Structure 1
Amino acid sequence: MVLECCVYLVEDDEAVARSLMVLLQMRDLKVDHFASADAFLRRLPHLPRGCVLLDVCLPGMDGLSALRELRRQTCDWPVIMMTGHAEFDLEIDAKRLGANKILEKPFAPDILFDELDEVLGLVAA
């Protein structure tokens, strides 16, 4: 599925970000990378609607706080959270704050693509 929308990748690990960007671009998706939640949130008012691929563990504002701020700003964009340490409480908090999906790193590309196909349908709706 190719849609004219952007995937906003919020990931501080440069190697992980590069790998994900290559994968997403191979699927003809537009990708905009941010190394911190703060950088993403500063640009948010100027960005076209898209999907957010948001790491949980970030410098400064963490992923859950960023998700909370997105929702406070009434941003209803789909959000896929990524974590290296999936815990039950984290999943509950992320779902309560409106995360569409939570992926535990490392994840297979097919899993990411399946989840993106699902949430990108929400962007197009």
Structure 2
Amino acid sequence: MNNNQLIYIVDDDDAVRRSVKFMLKHTGFQTREMASGDEFLKNVQRNERGCVLLDIRMPGMDGLEVQEHMNKNGIDMPIIILTGHGDIEIAVKAMRAGALNFIEKPYNKDALLRAIDEAFRHLENNNLKEIAASDANMRLSCLTGRERDVLNGLLQGYPNKTIAFDLGISPRTVEIYRANMMEKLRVKSLAEALRFGFAAEAVEIVAE
């Protein structure tokens, strides 16, 4: 890992900040920790660019509000959302607003490091979104109608049970379609699959 790579850890939970800082320091990253979105925004304009690990649920400004402020003020840093279990709908909203990825807490170390690696590649190459957009429709064309239906439900932030109810199938069948969809898209996480879906939506909007 590059010792010059900086990661902002923005989370009101002291234990989470300490745990993430310890892991990242020993992996070779620089870190700066903030206990609130307000503290992060107060300092970020004066600091160098990096990757932001941003908790969704915080007192004061929540993660979505912090992200909105960053977008409005041109603070262009890749954001990885840290969510609790069951916050998928909020994570999808964050990704629609430009977050690059989301990780559920308690986080998996390997998944977090993969997301961080991708974030820094994004920071170095602003064309990644365009590359994804050009590739999205080709990959999505491999999906069956039901697999695309499941992806569309996920793009709305719906849990498996809601998607199952809407499609008139069982939650277990949704899980099977979801697994097949991710295998065909050649992705390892739901966040990656969602990015292909968002990219395809963007292409459709432009075409209209």
TM-score of the pair, normalised by structure 1 = 0.94
1:55 aligns with: 55
The aligned residue for residue 77 of structure 1 is 77
TM-superposed CA distance for 1:97, in Å, is: 1.1
| CA pair 81-58 structure 1, distance change in 2 beyond 3 A | same
Question: In structure 2, do the counterparts of structure 1 residues 86 and 2 end up closer, same or farther at CA, with 3 Å as the change threshold?
Answer: farther
Q: CA deviation at 1:5?
A: 2.5
Of the two structures, which has the highest relative contact order with CA contacts closer than 8 Å and spacing of 6 or more? Answer: 1
Aligned to 1:26: 26
Question: Larger deviation: 52-61 or 85-94?
Answer: 85-94
Quote the RMSD (CA, aligned, Å): 1.3
Aligned partners of 2:82 and 2:104 also within 8 Å: yes
Task: Please state whether the residue corresponding to 2:45 is helix, strand or coil.
Answer: helix
Q: CA deviation at 1:86?
A: 3.7
Deviations 1:56-95 (A, max 9, x none): 0111000011011111111121000001134343133101
Classify 1:88/1:13 alpha carbon distance in 2 versus 1 (closer, same or farther; 3 Å). Answer: closer
The one-letter amino acid paired with 1:54 is L
Residue-by-residue CA offset, 1:5-24 (whole Å, 9 max, x unaligned): 31000011101110000000
* CA deviation vs aligned residue, 1:2-53 (integer Å, no higher than 9, x gap): 2513100001110111000000001110000000000000011101011100
CA contact (8 A) 2:36 2:59 kept: yes
Rate the CA distance shift 1:9–1:88 in 2: closer, same or farther, 3 A.
closer
* Partner of residue 16, structure 2: 16
Q: What amino acid sits opposite 2:54 in the alignment?
A: L
Cα pair distance change 1:79/1:50, threshold 3 Å: same
Secondary structure of 1:41's counterpart equals helix
Aligned length: 125
More helix by share: 2
Q: Structure 2 CA distance, aligned partners of 1:10 and 1:93?
A: 18
Which structure features the higher share of strand residues? 1
Larger Rg: 2
* Structure-2 residue corresponding to 1:110: 110
